Each structure stands twice: as C-alpha cells, then as structure tokens.
Chains A and B, each alone.
Chain A
Amino acid sequence: MILSNLRRHVLVPLSLTFLVLLGSFLYSAYAIRRNNISSALDQQYHEAQSLFNELLSIKSEWMIAMAETIINDPLLKQAMRRGDRAALYQRALPYYRRISGPDGITQFYFHSPDARNFLRVYRPQQYGDRITRETLRRAMENHTPAHGLELDSSGMLTLRLVIPWHDHAGLLGYIELGAEIEDTMRKLVSINHVDYLVTINKQLLERKNWEAGMIRLNRRPEWELLPDRVVASHSLKHIPDDIVRMLSRNRGGSFSGNGWKDATFDERSFAVKPFPLVETGGRVAGEFVLLYETTGITKDFYNFVLKIALLGLGICSVLFAFAWRILGLVERNLHSAQQKLADEVDNVNRANSLLELEVTERQRVEAELVHLNDHLEERVEERTRTLEAMSRELEQGRNELEEAYSELKSRQAMILHQDKMASIGLLSAGVAHDINNPIGFVSNNLEELRVYMSRLRHFLEAQQAITQSCAGPADLEALRREREELAIDSIFEDFDTLIGESLDGAGRISSIVKNLRSFSRVDDVEYKLADINECLESTINITHHELRYKALVHRQYGDIPPLCCCPQQLNQVFMNLLINAGHAIEKRGEITVCSWREEDSVFVSIADTGSGIPDELLPRIFEPFFTTKEVGKGTGLGLSIVYDIISLHRGEISVASRVGEGTTFTIRLSLDAGYGEKCDCQISEPPKGAPAQGDRNV
C-alpha cells in the first residue's frame, strides 16, 4: 500500500518533471539548431547581397573603363561636333561590337547636350527622342559620370553609365552605356549555389513593351501569373505553385520583416528570402528573391531532433527505472522501520506501564522509608545492643570451643596413654601367671635344697667325728687329702651363698612381674582406699631400670592414711614425674620422693637435682604436646596427663624450679575429696581384661 503510494506520489511528478525537462531540452536544442540555420542563411543572404553589389560595382568600373576609351576617340568627337550621325555610327560600331556580348553591354547611346538621343548604336534607326532617365539627369546636373540600376521600358533592369563628353570647344553631349544584370545574377547563383527569382512591379511596366521584351529574350511572358508583379527572370526550371502562392500572399510589397519562408517542391525544401531591387533614383523596382535549398540541412535537423529525443527518452527511462528501484528499496526500508517503530511503541507502552507500577511502588516504599527513618535511630541503638550481645555470646562460644578443644586434645592424649597402658596390662597379666608358676617351684625347690644341704652337713660332721675317733692316721690323712682336693669345705661355705643368691634372683624376677602387673592395670579405674606409699614404691621399682644409672632415689615416706583414689592413675602420675626427673638429670643426680600429711591433705613431692625449667616455659609445661625434648624422644603428653589425673582427683599440682639446681613437683590430694562412697572395698576387684579364671591350664 505504502509502496505503491510512495511510487505514485514520487514517480508521477518526477515523470512530469522529466517530460518537462525533456521538452525544454528538445525545444532548446531545436531553437538553437534552428537559430544556427537561420544565422547561416542570414549570413549567406548578406553575402549574396554584398556579392551582388560588388559584382555590379565591378561591372560599373569595367563600363567606365570602356567609356573612357570611347570618349577619347577624336574621330568620334569630330563626327559628333559635325553632327554627322552616319560617321558617328561608322566609328562607334566597332566599339559596340567589341564590348557587346552575352556578359557585355547591350545598349550604346550618344546623347546631345539637351538630353535628346542622337544615336542608338545598337538600334541606329531610332533617335531624336528625349531621354528622361535618372542617370542622365544626374550627369547633366553634376557634370560628372553617373551610373546606377534603371528599369527600361521593356521591364529589364539595366546597369547604366552616363558620362559627359567634352572636346576642346566644350560639351559635345553624353555617352551612355547599358548592361543587363542578368549575367551578374547568374554569376551570383553559380558562386553561391542558390536559386533566385526577379520580380518587377506591374505598375512600372507596360504590358506590351514587357511582353515584347520577354519574347526578344526568348522567355515566356506570363503577365497574369502574379497579381501585382511579373517574374522577370529566374534560375528554376519552372516556377512552382508553392512559390506562386507565397508571392501572391505578399501583395504590394516585400516579405514581412527579414523572416525566412519555407517552401517545398520537387521533394526539396527551400528557405526563401527576398531583397528589394532599388533603382538609382531610390524607387523600388522589384525584388530579388533568393531560394536556398535546405533539404540536407532539414534532414540533418530532423535526424538531430530525433536523436536528441531518443537520447532524452533513454536517459529519462534509465532515471525512471533507477528511481523505481531506489523507491522500492526505500519503501522496504521504510516498511521495516515502521514495523520496528510500531514494536518500539509497544515496548515503550509496556515500559511505561511498568514504570507507572514502579513509580507507585516507589512512592509506597518512600513513604515506608520516611516512616522507617523516623524510627531509625531507635532501631540502630536496638540493633547495636543486639549486636553487642551477640558478639559477647560469640566470644563466649569461641572461648568455650577453645576450651573444649584443648580438653579434647588432653583427653585424646590420656586415652592414647591409657590404651598403651591397657595393652601392657593385658600382656603382663598373662606373663605374670606364666612366670610365677615356674619361679614358684624353682625358689621353693631351692629352699628345700638348702634344708637338704644343712641335713647333709650335719650328717657329714657327725660322720667325721666318728671317723676321727676310730679310723687310723693313714685313713684320716687320705680322707683329709680327698676333702681338700674336692674343696668340700668351701662347697659347704659357698652353699648358703649360692642358694641365697639364686633365691634372691628368683625373688627379683617375681618382684618385676608383680610390679609390672600392679602398675599397668589401667582398666581398673575404680576408686578405692590405697596406700600412697605403696603406690610410690611400686612405681619406683618399675622405673628402676630407667633411673638406676642416673639417680639415687631417696624415699622419705611419711605416716599417711589410706587415701580414696584411683591408684592405677596415681601410679601413672608418679611414673611420669619420676621419668621426667630422670630425664632432667644429665649425668648423675639425686631424686627425692617425699610423702606427708598436713591436716586433711596428703602431699607427695618428687624433687630432682636436674637442669631445671626456665621461668618463661613454666606456664606452658602442662600444655598438651608441649615438649623441650628432641623430636622422637618425648610426646609432650606426660605432664599434661599428670595434670588431668590430678584434676580428676580434685587435687593440685605445683612446680618450683631453678635452672641448674633442679625441679620439685608437689601434689596435694585431699583426704575428703567427696567420693569416699566409691571406696567400698579395701581390695580391688579382678581386672576385666585379665585372663579369665578357670579357662586356662596353669
């Protein structure tokens, strides 16, 4: 719809504009070309006119030259003076013959000074008539030669020259020469390639004279051909009707203005223009009509116009097609742009409605904001308080977590350690049974052996006493020698030592097993009344192998009552402290173990003469995994476990140390720690992890 509209709206005026431009262009081209042709014709016309005048002038000069020759002939003068017409004719005739001819002079007059004709050389029988022609009148008036075109009675335009003729006695008369201009016109035609017509006004002619003259010149007189003039001469084969009509329309004068007339005949076209033939007196005798053939020019002109028209039409068509295409493109672009615009408008509408919604929402929120702003300070304060409280809670929670973490760490260490101890316990329970049986009968047999030996010695002594009293000296000497050789006396002396040492060895083995067993029963965590001094002793024995090369252990046990405790755990405490003490001693030192009672508490101290602990490390020694020993030697758990066990017993542990002098750990355990009810028996239950009774062969 838009497409066709736009094309119609643009292409119709555009096409009209093209057509107007094309028309203007064609007209301009036509006018210019036509003007060019017209100018060319005008130029030719002027050239023809001036050539015509020039030819007439040349002819006049030639006639003057002829006349000069004639005028100076004395014989002619004499004959004229005498009035001898025959002699004059005789003498003038050779001149006439010489100058007359087709291009030459046709009339030769001698006139008397009173303007009467004395002799017509070309027609000697006619003379004596009065001559009234303008050229003669001018020559008589001015006494100088006069020449000019003049129409004669027969309708011929003749170039005439009248020269005054003098001799020594004065004016003899006048010599007149006349030449027809027909040949001049023919020359003009041959030079300029034009055709012509010469017309003469009828009112200046007499029909009879004119017709006679025409016949004399072998031309067909047609007096009635034109209404007001006659055609005196022409270069055409015949006078075409077209020209006749043209000349007929221009009655009583020349063609209007200087315009050219077109005429077509014999399939040829001509441009026609006349110029007036003026007699020397100023009277217009007729017209010299020039016909220029324009057949070729017209043809060229029409071809030119046709080419221009076709070219213009072609350009217009191309422009039209171009415009059509461009408009099509523009249409399509416009169409899509319009579509986009419509979409945009839709979007904008949607966005507008959204915006309106948002504006409403915004206003509502702003109102809320205003409301909120009013209470903001209050809320900020409230929030700050809440935040502070939360921050405190967080801090507290963090501290609790940290505590829980460190507790977990130490618990883990304890569990680790207790596991280890439990393994040792399990192992040592079996070992104790298996070792105690053989050790039992070994030591008992040794004791029985001692009984046997003592009986044997009694018997031998009794035997010797009897032998001494009843045997001979030689037998006694032999017995004494035998006794010395066999070292019987030293055997008896050594026997007690031997048995004693063997029994002591068996006892030590038994003691080791017992200590190991009593020490390692970690699974026995029950609280019971225990003798702390016994615990200390058993632990010292267990650590004996570790300490014996480094330290001398002093025992200063006080008189202390049984304490409700978990002896196994306390054993572990004592062992860790003793081993640490041993480690603190570099070469050789002393360890003093004390126990005493003070009011309702039992104290145990373990002091060493070791290297001591620097002050800056003292606060950290009970931290789990804190160690100053080289990697792989200590776990860093020992004192941490000590601390935890003492804490579980609701006791206290303190440390005093001096670098280079030694360290003392002091443990306080309360006699009334609040769990006395747990101590329901004096002898503990059998260990759960011990080998089951009755299911083993012993």
Chain B
Amino acid sequence: MSEKPSVLCVDDEAPILRTLERFCRNEGIPVRSASSAADALALMEREPVDIVLSDYLMPGMNGLDFLNEVHSRWPRVSGIVISGFVELPAVASALRQGIIVGFLHKPWKRDELKALIKNASERCRGFAKEGAVAS
C-alpha cells in the first residue's frame, strides 16, 4: 500500500482538530480538517476523501447525521464517530447498520485510533481493488 488513504477530521473544537491533524501527520496520513459538518460536506464535494473522523456533538448538524449523509452520498467513504459519552445507543445502532465503521471514545488512545484508521484503510483498499478489477 504505497498510497495512503486521505482522512478528513471534523470537530468544532480546534485543539482536538489539531491533535487529530498532528496524529495523521506523524503517521504520514494525508489529512484535511473542517470545523463543521457543512464545511466538511463542501470540502468533500471538491476533493475525494477516503476516511471521515467526526465528533458527535457539534453545532448545526451532529456527527451521526453528518456521517449518515456522507454514507448515502459516498458509500465507499468510511465514517468514524468520536464521542465524549461513554455509551451511545444511537452510535451502536449506526454501527450495526454499517453507516459508520468505527466508534472512538473521548479520550482515546493513540493505538485505538491507529487501529481504527488501519481497518478503515483496508476497507478503502478493498474498494480500490474492486475498482481496479472492474476497470
């Protein structure tokens, strides 16, 4: 896997957004960031994105609704929810339905995030192979 999938981070809190960008840079993952769901959607319309990391509680559209929309428009994009809540039944339900591929508790461990990104990257590569075979 020479080309790494691109990641879009969405959070209304700048320090968290910067932490996520820092992680991605350190891991050598191409990263973009947006401070709201609307900005993120606008960015996605311009550039292709493979993985979306979104906070749950945000002003305007919340993380789940946002990822739901992403899933319906770009089904190959893997969505991961990050939340400060210990348990979120709605998140669990979205996981079961396949709308999102992962769920991350705040505060998360670096390894957890790394594993989630790795899983999501493999999913992306799977889509890429399918695409290559199809073409």
Chain A residues packing against B (C-beta within 8 Å):
432-433, 436-445, 447-448, 451-452, 506-507, 510, 514, 517-518, 681, 683-686, 690, 693-694, 696-698
Contacts and interface: CB of A to CB of B under 8 A. Distances in A.
A432 B85 contact: yes
Nearest to B84: A436
Given A440-B108, A510-B107, 11 more contacts: A433-B57, A437-B16, A441-B15, A441-B107, A444-B22, A444-B107, A448-B22, A686-B85, A693-B90, A697-B59, A698-B84
B87 to A, nearest CB: 6
Contacts of A684: 87, 89
A506 B87 contact: no
A440 B58 contact: no
Contacts of A683: 87, 89, 92
Contacts of B26: 448, 451-452
A441 B110 CA distance: 11
Contact of A445 (B22, B89, B108, B113): B22
Nearest to A435: B84
A693 B108 contact: no
Contacts of B62: 693-694
A182 B18 CA distance: 204
12 contacts: A433-B84, A433-B85, A436-B105, A441-B15, A441-B18, A443-B107, A444-B110, A448-B26, A518-B86, A696-B57, A698-B12, A698-B84
B103 to A, nearest CB: 11
A441 B87 contact: no
Contacts of B107: 436, 439-444, 506-507, 510
A444 B104 CA distance: 13
A interface majority secondary structure: helix
B84 A432 contact: yes
A444 B87 contact: no
Nearest to A694: B62
B101 to A, nearest CB: 17
Contact of A693 (B13, B57, B105): B57
Among the interface residues B85, B107, B110, B113, which one has the most CB atoms of the partner chain A within 10 A?
B107
Contacts of B57: 433, 693-694, 696-698
Nearest to B104: A440
Interface in B16-75: 16, 18-20, 22-23, 26, 55-59, 62
Among the interface residues A432, A442, A693, which one has the most CB atoms of the partner chain B within 10 A?
A693
A502 to B, nearest CB: 12
B106 interface: yes
Given A683-B87, A696-B57, A698-B84, A444 B12 contact: no
B115 interface: no
Given A437-B106, A440-B16, A441-B15, A686 B88 contact: yes
Contacts of A696: 57
A308 to B, nearest CB: 146
Contacts of A432: 84-86
A690 B89 CA distance: 13
A441 B11 CA distance: 12
A562 to B, nearest CB: 15
B19 A698 contact: no
A517 to B, nearest CB: 5
